[in-house]
Amino acid sequence: MTDSEILIVGAKGKTGSRVQARLTQAGIPTRGVSRSSTPSFDWTKPESWPAALEGVRAAYLTYHPDLSVPEAEGHIRKFCEMASDAGVEHVVLLSGRNEAGAQRAEQVLRKSGLEWNVVQASWFAQNFSEDFMVDSVLAGELVIPEGTAGEPFVDIDDIADVVVASILEPGLRNRLYEVTGPRVMSFADCMAEISKAAGYDVKLVELPLEGYIDALREQEVPDYLVALLPGLFADLFDGRSAYTAQGVREALGRPATPFSQYAQKALASGAWNRNAAGRVA
Q: Residue 103 has what pLDDT?
A: 96
Strand partners, 92: 60, 117
CA angle 76, 24, 117 (to 5 degrees): 30
Separation of alpha carbons 211 and 215, rounded Å: 6
35-53 pLDDT, tens digit each: 999 999 999 999 999 999 9
Q: Residue 279 has what pLDDT?
A: 53
Strands 141-145 and 90-96: unpaired
Q: Residue 145 has what pLDDT?
A: 87
Confidence band for 126, pLDDT divided at 50, 70 and 90: very high
- Total Cβ atoms within 10 A of residue 19: 28
219-244 pLDDT, tens digit each: 888 888 888 777 777 766 789 999 99
Do residues 30 and 8 make contact, with C-beta atoms less than 8 angstroms apart? yes
Whether the predicted pLDDT of 248 surpasses 90:
yes
* pTM of the complete model: 0.93
Half-sphere exposure of 137 (CA within 13 A, CB side): 31
59-87 pLDDT, tens digit each: 999 999 999 889 999 999 999 999 999 99
Q: For the chain, which domains are there?
A: 5-121 (3.40.50.720), 122-153+181-242+258-281 (3.90.25.10)
189-203 pLDDT, tens digit each: 999 999 999 999 999
Cα 195 versus chain centre, distance: 24
Q: Which amino acid is at 190?
A: C
Burial of 164 (0-12, 13-18, 19+ CB in 10 A): buried
Strand partners, 176: 118
